[in-house]
Amino acid sequence: MLSIRLVADPTGFDALVLPVRPVTPPVDGPRPDTTGPDTPEAPPGATPIAEVPPTSLALPADLLAEANALLPLVELTGTAGASHLTVRALREPRRLLLVGIGAGDEAGWRAAGAAIARTAAHETSITIAMPSDAGTEAVRGLAEGLWLASYRFRLPEPAEVADRDAELGEVLVAVADPDAHQTALNLARVTARTTRLARDLTNTPSSVKSPEWLADQIVAAAAEYPELRIRVRDPEQLAEEGFGGILAVGGGSATGPRLVELGWQPADARTHVVLVGKGITFDTGGISIKPRDAMKLMRKDMAGAAAILAATIGAAALRLPVRITALAPLAENMVSGSAFRPGDVVRHYGGLTSETTNSDAEGRLVLADALAYAVEQLEPDLLINIATLTGANAVALGKRHGALYSENDELARALIDAGREAGELSWRMPLPNDYVEYLGSDIADLYSAPAAGAGSVTAALFLREFTGPLRDRWVHVDMSAPSWAEGNDGVLAKGATGYGVRTLLRWLGGLE
């Protein structure tokens, strides 16, 4: 991650970033004189629709005048994330970047940070002059935008290849009182670091990412925080304890399944939250095999597990006063002579059985085991599961929203609001009782993959059957669509998005 430092009075900067905010144009009267020496004149009669606000950094008057005069010429209106780079070859700073901050709230600064990270990607160092009235939310948003948008996934490669492309190395953020913003910067650092961890795990090709490998990565990451407790169950232990869904899905692979249980239990915790995340390290669809195009990105089918594990590590880093247990059932859904078959009946943890006629609806089988275990053995106050569960998520809501299901209005609203504040979107979906009949089976307790009904809804209804007395304190988020970005967009880099980490950390941070 690039270095971001808060400073009060930087000197000698070669590249300077100035914020731009929208202003309400005057109804009448002369246009304010924003020109300065050697500065191009704005067209006669033009009314400025944006301005550079006063900053905590003492800057020459002619530099500010030049910047303000440029705004109408380059049609920069202060929209969050809009930017313009000016080269000043014979003057300092030699490069001046103007970037819109919108309303100046956290979201606006997050968009600005992302724009700076991309526009200034080849600078060695840049200085950002923050407005004199910037609050802690502005620093947090800026830092998150910088760290998240500058993300790039790399497989291990020789140093000479890794150094071939220059990257932004240092950002100096000029504020009046650096100490007042250190907590906000640390929040942003932990949030970005754990989101980047989730992205790394999800982007890793499945030729490397077996269930065992993924479990080992979490063990290594958790080792930084000795108070985290971790247990990894292997296939033999899963069989002894009755995790039939995980074993069925992982049975066709040459690399056996795992169940990662990661716990954070601070002494002052009053609320226990269990997070469950789907961890299919590659999904061929099994015997109900996927078409080629649908299979190409199935290394991302463990994004839910990556999100809940990274969020738990983040909670430990922030020392949040909430007890958290993360459960990540990990399996590879492959085609072989030992793969589970359409028509098989699976006995889940706790004894419920399910008939499956579609081996490509495997995620709900491993989640069902983990949910049932959480209810029976962990007795949490709240139960949250997140999964790349269905393609129907994208059909209903597009590529930026997760589909959120819950019977608890307050809990659903809290998670949606936390996601909005963090920059991740979700939309609440219904759990209609008239679809429950589709879960009926002639030979098992449940039918796991009904062809009738809305696909994302029936998958959520199936999972609900394993929540027992926690049914009214449970949330399921289907995040298949927003787990992946087709290209760079704001804080999202092409590839895995790390969706869910920021929402969970924001929500967990607000729990008592």
DSSP assignment of 472-502 equals GGEEEEE-TTTTEESS-BTTBPSEE--TTHH
Is residue 28 over pLDDT 80?
no
State pLDDT tens for residues 1-13.
999 999 998 988 8
**∠ CA 234-238-239, rounded to 5°:** 120
Tell whether 175 and 230 lie within a shared domain. Answer: no
Query: Can you give 48-70 as a three-state secondary structure string?
Result: CCEECCCECCCCCHHHHHHHHHH
Q: Are residues 141 and 223 in the same domain?
A: no
Q: Looking at residue 500, which CATH number applies to its domain?
A: 3.40.630.10
Mean of the pLDDT values across residues 83-102? Answer: 95
- Report the candidate in 201, 208, 210 with the shortest Cα–Cα distance to residue 495: 201
**pLDDT value at residue 462:** 98
Q: Is 387 part of any domain?
A: yes
Instruction: State residue 154's pLDDT score.
Output: 84
Half-sphere exposure of 4 (CA within 13 A, CB side): 29
116 and 218 together in one domain: no
| Separation CA 144–CA 191 (nearest Å) | 7
Work out the average pLDDT over 141-161: 84
Across 323-345, average pLDDT: 97
pLDDT of residue 337 exceeding 90:
yes
In angstroms, the CA 142 to CA 154 distance is 24
Mean pLDDT of the 419-435 span: 97
If asked whether residues 285 and 420 sit together in one domain, one would say yes
Q: Please, where are the H alpha helices in 5-125?
A: 61-73, 106-119
pLDDT of 276: 99
253 and 118 belong to one structural domain: no
Q: Identify whether residues 293 and 378 lie together within a single domain.
A: yes
Does the residue 313 lie in any domain?
yes
Q: For the chain, how many residues are written?
A: 512
Residue of 364, 377, 58, 105 whose CA lies nearest to 242: 377
Are 238 and 124 in a shared domain?
no
Of residues 169 and 320, which shows the higher confidence score?
320
pLDDT of residue 164: 46
pLDDT at residue 33 in the model: 45
CATH code of the domain containing 164:
3.40.220.10
**Three-state secondary-structure class, residue 484:** strand
479 belongs to a structural domain: yes
Q: What positions carry a catalytic annotation?
A: 290, 364
The domain of 67 spans 3-181
Place of tokens 């780079």: 85
Q: Is residue 445 part of a domain?
A: no
Number of domains in the chain: 2
Task: Dump pLDDT digits (tens) for 206-258.
Answer: 999 999 999 999 999 999 999 999 999 999 999 999 999 999 999 999 999 99
Strands 258-264 and 229-233, bridge-based pairing: antiparallel
